[in-house]
Structure 1
Amino acid sequence: MNKRWAIRQKADHDEVKRLSEALNINPVLSHLLISRGINDYEEARYFFRPDIRHLHDPFLMAGMEQAVERIEQAIARNEKVLIYGDYDVDGTTAVSLVYGFFKERYDNLEYYIPDRYTEGYGISTQGIDYAAANGFSLIIALDCGIKSIDKVDYANTLNIDFIICDHHTCGDTIPAAVAVLDPKRPDCQYPYKELSGCGVGFKLVQAYAEKNGIPFEDLFRFVDLVAISIACDIVQITGENRVLAYFGLQKLNNEPCTGIKILMEVAGRTANYSIADIVFLLGPRINAAGRIDDAKHAVRLLISCDEVDAREKGALINVKNTERKGHDLQITDEALSMIGASEVMVNRKSTVVFNENWHKGVIGIVASRLTEKYYRPTVVLTRSNGHVAGSARSVLGYDLYEALCGCSDLLLQFGGHKYAAGLTMKPENVDAFVEKFEEVVSASITAEQLIQQIEIDAELDLKDIDGKFFRVLNQFAPFGPGNMSPVFLSKNVYVNGTPGLVGSNHIKMSISQPGSAWFDCIAFNHGECLHQIRPGVPFDVCYSIEENVWRDKRSMQLNIKGIRCY
């Protein structure tokens, strides 16, 4: 697939020079800081040295006073409390954190995860009925609930109170709960809006701890769960999230809670995790529990304090992940065949595929894979509980949620973010939705948005990459949305000898520029460029700089994102 190379606008030369002198760093690094809104020494110190004191006062969040008071009241009255959360990574980590914290201080509580297939996303009538039948009078909902107007109203008729902790976009009406914690509420003045669902749960527990004189360390030992949620829910790694991710990674890599320690073991790696490693190694295993079986398996693992017990639960989750991979590959192949067999589908600006026999638990993963292949807004649909359920993914710059709003007359329910969403509809609306979604996307997407883009932060001479440059660059981590690993452009580089093909389609080589050292490189999925790269013939590369760890040996490596031969 052809990709556009887009170089970010250069920062002001005088500003770059001033910051470089103040920090004694390479001007390219100063440019990276300025592009992140960091313009002076103090701001750089704040960025490079995350501190617990950078966390905001939790009581700045609208509804926090009421939430804490209601929890205190429930504990004082010995009410039964139900910790309720979504079945994905963000939801299960949130439940594990809030349940784990309060369980050490209060016995009369349980947790509840809705079944993906019989209850669907968010707060369910079945879940409320369970609470009513078992004497629960307070439900703390995590990573869901901001649009559950009717469900909260129903709970109120049963004298069940709700505290909602969500981070999704609000509708026009806020649920009639005792407290609704969501930094995206229009009336919420909380300084940081991009918390994960688990992050909002963390702020609730932080507020409770502050008001009740509980040491911060008792809460902070759950921060590895918050880091996992931040990574896997693809939220911005800026501001408060960056602080939580930074310390969460430290804990995960040095002293993870028992369940996470075992999860890392079954994933085949026990240290040196980055945000990306969490996404690719831990996230799929946690998700697999709810995709294939029951998400409560994930919570049981994450809250486990006994290694023998945790190892048994970790092995079960790993089996579920293997099963998930099989469904994933099979459905992806079927979907690609379906698209490839239809000239109409190939030439559309959107992709919508439907098979009533596909496994609902993996259609989100399949949607992501189809988006990678055809690079356009994509919806994968299957039958579920008499309806058609779908998972949608988007491309850079295109608001998928708004596109679904344009199709809302055909949908029973939908929700999500700019780049990922879920939806349900009546089976008889599928054909109409296929056409309407294509119509909406075609009218609103630009030609540029349909071509995958490599965003290049700066041009860099290879001779400038030395030990100091690499050490400072590493302090930009943790990397993720809003603070992606910088991508550099180096022109007129030369290959050392003959590049080799590793795996099915990856190039391994060493490159240099006149006057620079040789740098080892890996170019994933660039095998088609192999025949164009020849000794003595210059070419351009864009890449990120990373540390490669192989058999306990660490070395610097360029991860090639794009190759252009003359």
Structure 2
Amino acid sequence: MERRWKIKEPGDSAVVEALAGELNVDKIVANLLVQRGVDSFSSAKSFFRPSLDDLHDPFLMKDMDIAVDRLCKAIRSGERIMIYGDYDVDGTTAVALVFSFLRRYYQNLLFYIPDRYTEGYGISTKGIEAAADSGCSLIISLDCGIKAVNKIRYAKNFGIDFIVCDHHTPGEALPEALACIDPKRQDDTYPYKDLSGCGVGFKLLQAFCLHNGYPVEPLYKYLDLVAVSIAADIVPITGENRILAYYGLKQLNNDPGTGLKSIIHVSNMEGKELEMSDVVFKIGPRINAAGRIESGRDAVELLISGEEELAKSLSANINGHNEVRKDLDKKITDEALQLLINDPSQKERKSTVLFRPHWHKGVIGIVASRLMDKFYRPTVIITESQGLATGSARSVEGFDLYSAVESCSDLLISFGGHTSAAGLTMDIGNVELFAQRFEEWVEAHITPEQMIPQVEIDAEIRLKDINARLMRLLAQFAPFGPANQKPLFVTRRVIDYGTTKLVGKGRDHIKFELIEECSGAIVRGIGFSMKDHLTKIQSREPFDIVYSIEENVYNGVSSVQLMIKDLLFPY
């Protein structure tokens, strides 16, 4: 698939030059820092050496004092407290964090995860009634609740107070909870707005420790859960998230909780230095699979477990759920691809909307993402659930998916989401008309550029600029993720040195040895699934490459290797 290359605007040259001198680094590194908002010695020190001392005072968050006072009152009075969270990774890690830490000081706790299929996302009537039946007088909701106006009002009928800990954008009216802790509240002046749901739960516990004079260090042992939530929920790796992710990864690599340690084991990652990408592609999907296939409660049971044998059994069970999830994912994706291939009218469409009543609700979001990646157009995958059509939508970069769905709101029973992802429910009889109206809206509003995937490049450099010191400095930019992606570079006019060849079990990948025309510098690299380019590369025609700079270790010897992301033959 063709891709657009977009090179970021370079940082202010005077600032870059001054920073390079202050830090004794070359201008390539200084420019990358300035692009990330790091433009002074002190900010560079904070970037390269994150400190837990730089975490913000949690009481700067609106309603935090009210929440902590109510929590402490409940503990003093011996009240039963329910810890309530969503069924995805962010929600289950948040529940595991708050439940596990509070349990160190107080035992009259229980947790609740709603069922994806019978209750849906967020606060449910069934969950509130379960709290009432269990004698709970306080519910702490995590990663959900900020829009649950009617449900939280319903809880008042049972004399239940709510502390909402959420990170989603509130609606027009806040729920009538005792405290609504959400940095995205319009009236909240908290310095950092992009915490994960688990991150907001962490701030509540940080405030709890400060209020009671408890040491905060034991809380830091749970930062592995926070790091998992940050990676899986795709929040920016900036500010407080960068600090929490940095130390959370250290915890995950050096002394993970029993449950996470068992997930690392079943993921075959023991002994590997874990990065955020490992969480995204290995740990996160396994935790998510519990809620997709069975129950998110299984994930929490594993994450709060302190017994190795129990954790081993639970992680094997969750790993089994993940295998089922992968089979369903592949089967439904293949079926959806065939529907698109066999329908000639699909070639001219600007969107994809597919409906089959037998598709598994737990994986339609994944399928939507896969089809969107393949055809690069806004995609809605719909199945039947409890007599209604339920869909999951994904969008291309820069296109406002939420507005497209909202334009069909008269056909929908409910919908929600944001610019890049959404969920929706409608009568089955409305699916065909929805597909038509959705396509009309997309066609009228999407630009040609938005239908071509974009590769965002940090800077253009020469192969002769690449060395071991640059590689080591770039490694210190980690942890990587949104707003701090691994740097990508472009180099022009490289040619095959003569040893480039196919490698891998299926001989699908290319092992490069490239020489730069202007300098004669030679660098090795690897390009996955690029075998179709081999003949042209071996013709010795010059081409341009986009790549990241990686460390390759072979027989204990470290060397520089380029990870080739894309290439063009423009000459």
Measured against the shorter chain, the TM-score band is: over 0.9
Q: Counterpart of 1:539?
A: 543
Compute the TM-score of the two structures, normalised by the length of structure 1.
0.97
Residue among 513, 516, 520 paired with 1:513 = 516
CA contact (8 A) 1:168 1:416 kept: no
Matched with 1:529 is: 533
In the alignment, the residues of structure 2 paired with residue 564 and residue 555 of structure 1 have an alpha-carbon distance, to the nearest angstrom, of: 26
Residue 538 of structure 1: CA displacement?
Answer: 2.1
In 2, Cα distance between equivalents of 1:481 and 1:516: 35
Question: Counterpart of 1:402 in 2: which secondary structure?
Answer: helix
Check 1:176–1:458 CA distance in 2 against 1; reply closer, same or farther (3 A cut).
Answer: same
With 343-352 and 33-42 compared, the bigger mean Cα shift is at 343-352
Tell me the SS of whatever aligns to 1:533. helix
Displacement of 1:123 after TM fit? 0.8
Which position in structure 2 is the counterpart of 1:158?
A: 158
Q: Match of 1:71, as an amino acid?
A: L
Match of 1:115 in 2: 115
1:400 and 1:536 map into 2 onto residues whose CA distance is 43
* Corresponding residue for residue 437 of structure 1: 438
Aligned equivalents of 1:210, 1:551: Cα separation in 2: 49
**Contact 1:275 1:478 (8 Å CA) reproduced:** yes
- Percent of aligned positions that are identical: 53
CA deviations over 1:321-353 (Å, ceiling 9, x no partner): 111110000000011111122222232211111
Are the equivalent residues in 2 in contact too, given 1:498–1:535 (CA < 8 A)? Answer: no
Give the whole-Å Cα distance in 2 for the aligned partners of 1:268 and 1:553.
24
CA distance in 1, matches of 2:161, 2:80: 11
Distance 1:131 1:552 in 2: 56
1:403-432, Cα deviation, whole Å (9 max, x unpaired): 323222222222233322222222222122
Task: Summarize the alignment of residues 53-202 of structure 1 with structure 2, pairs less than 5 Å apart.
Answer: 53-202=53-202
Partner of 1:502: 504
Deviations 1:149-197 (A, max 9, x none): 1111111122111111111121111111111111111111111111111
1:350 aligns with 2:354: no
| CA distance in structure 2 between the aligned counterparts of 1:409 and 1:555, rounded to whole angstroms | 59
User: Within the alignment, does 1:49 sit opposite 2:52 as a pair?
Assistant: no
Q: State the distance in 2 between where 1:317 and 1:405 align.
A: 36
Matched with 1:562 is: 566
Q: Structure 2: where are the runs of 5+ without partners?
A: none
Answer yes or no: is the 8 Å Cα contact 2:500–2:510 preserved in 1. Answer: no
Provide the C-alpha distance between the structure 2 equivalents of 1:407 and 1:105, rounded to a whole number of angstroms.
Answer: 50
**What secondary structure does 1:356 align onto?**
coil
CA distance in 1: counterparts of 2:480 and 2:361, whole angstroms: 31
1:287 match: 288
2:130 partner amino acid: Y
Deviation for aligned residue 1:503: 4.5
Preserved CA contact (<8 Å) 2:19 2:40: yes
Q: Give 1:476 shift.
A: 0.9
In 1, the alpha carbon distance for the partners of 2:380 and 2:369 equals 9
How far apart are the structure 1 equivalents of 2:255 and 2:367? Answer: 34
| 1:98-153 alpha-carbon deviations (Å, 9 max, x no partner) | 00111111111101111111111111111111111221111111111111111111
Look up the equivalent residue of 1:312 and give its one-letter code: S
Aligned residues: 566
C-alpha contact 1:301 1:310 (8 A) present in aligned 2: yes
TM-score, reference length from structure 2: 0.96
For 2:295, the aligned partner's letter is D
Once structures 1 and 2 are overlaid, which stretch shifts more, 381-390 or 224-233?
A: 381-390
Please, which runs of 5 or more residues in structure 1 have no aligned partner? none
What's the offset of the Cα at 1:69?
1.1
**CA distance in 2: counterparts of 1:265 and 1:228, whole angstroms:** 16
What whole-Å deviation, never above 9, does each CA across 1:184-230 have from its counterpart, x for those lacking one? Answer: 11111111111111111111111111101111111111001000000
Q: Measure the CA separation in 1 of the matches of 2:390 and 2:344.
A: 25
Structure-1 residue corresponding to 2:300 = 299
Q: Distance in 2 between matches of 1:435 and 1:221?
A: 52
Q: Is the 1:547–1:556 Cα contact (8 Å) retained in structure 2?
A: yes
Whether contact under 8 Å (1:266, 1:315) holds in the other structure is yes
Partner of 2:327: 326
Counterpart of 2:364? 363
Farther-moved stretch of structure 1 (403-412 vs 441-450): 403-412
Letter in 2 for 1:513: E
* SS of 1:121 mapped into structure 2: coil
- Aligned Cα RMSD in Å? 1.6
Instruction: Give the Å deviation of 1:55.
Output: 0.9
Q: Provide Cα deviations, 1:526-564, integer angstroms capped at 9, x if missing partner.
A: 222122101643221000112345787654321111111
Q: How big is the shift at 1:495?
A: 2.2
The structural deviation recorded for 1:399 is 2.5
User: Does the Cα contact within 8 Å between 2:64 and 2:207 map onto a contact in 1?
Assistant: yes
Seen in structure 2, the aligned counterparts of structure 1 residues 170 and 551 have a Cα distance that, compared at 3 Å, is farther
Q: Structure 1 residues 249 and 552, CA, compared in 2 at 3 Å: closer, same or farther?
A: farther
> 1:373 aligns to what?
374
Structure-2 separation of matches of 1:234 and 1:365: 15
Aligned-partner Cα distance in 1 for 2:333–2:23: 49
